Amino acid sequence: MDAKQVFESFTPSPIAKSKIGNMALEHSIQSQHMLLCGEMHGVIENADVLYSLFHHFSFSTFALERTKKEAGAFIDSLKPNVKVDFSLIDKSVFIASVMSPQLAKTIHTMFVEGRLKDVVFVDSDEEDREQEMAKNIISLDKNQKTLGVLDNWHTATDEDGHKSALEYVRNEIPNVPCLDYKYCSGQYYNIANGLGNFDDVRNVHPEYKIEQRSDRDFELYIPEATPITT
């Protein structure tokens, strides 16, 4: 199926709060009005996670790892009473970023349901992408509860020779929480790696679950990953 067909056929599936609820994470989000998530691009379940986090933690704004130039007009076409227009976005974005056809449908669904009030664009095409992305995140309206989803490279910590956007953000907002997605089986598909496999540890983590690693770091275990199609 092409991107339009995937969009039309996909419906985000909510994950029960009993599986992804976490009081420590909820308190951290309430305190900071922000959550940054680190994903592997190219997994269908990422859209279900976004939908469920928005619902369970009452976010109103989605911070998208794309520039407004790349995706602004397309995002506007996902709003209610507007015709979705796939000609407004380069199709390569769907396998190179957070923005899969499934995620686009999820954004559209949340706009229609009234959960999502705004999408903001935090990516940068500047040479120092991590630092510029962090500046964009830091400048977001603190009165709006914001969920940001980035590639896990941008939320990595303690990587030799690499300072991530998350680390730059924490220079200014030390306690901003981060939720790192851990895929326990299955596959992904993206432009950087093609079709790839996750190590199968589903016997250890058979269900969705959020675990706390520090006062600001959390992990979401996703039992099985399904690669996107476009």
**CATH code of the domain in which 47 resides:** 3.40.50
| pLDDT value, residue 60 | 98
Percentage of the chain exceeding pLDDT 90: 91
- Is residue 228, in this structure, part of any structural domain at all? no
- Is residue 131, in this structure, part of any structural domain at all? yes
- Is residue 66, in this structure, part of any structural domain at all? yes
Number of independent structural domains in the chain: 1
Is 150 in a helix, a strand, or coil?
strand
Whole-model pTM: value is 0.96
| pLDDT value, residue 19 | 94
- Is residue 189, in this structure, part of any structural domain at all? yes
Range of the domain at 29: 3-222
| Distance in angstroms (rounded) separating the CA atoms of residues 214 and 145 | 21
Phi, psi of 2 (to 5 degrees): -85, 175
| Distance in angstroms (rounded) separating the CA atoms of residues 190 and 152 | 13
Average pLDDT over residues 154-173: 95
Give 91's pLDDT tier (boundaries 50, 70, 90): confident
Q: Is residue 226 a contact partner of residue 42, using CB atoms and an 8 Å limit?
A: no
Model confidence over 128-145: pLDDT tens digits? 999 999 999 999 999 999
- Is residue 227, in this structure, part of any structural domain at all? no
When the pLDDT of each residue in the chain is averaged and rounded to a whole number, the result is: 95
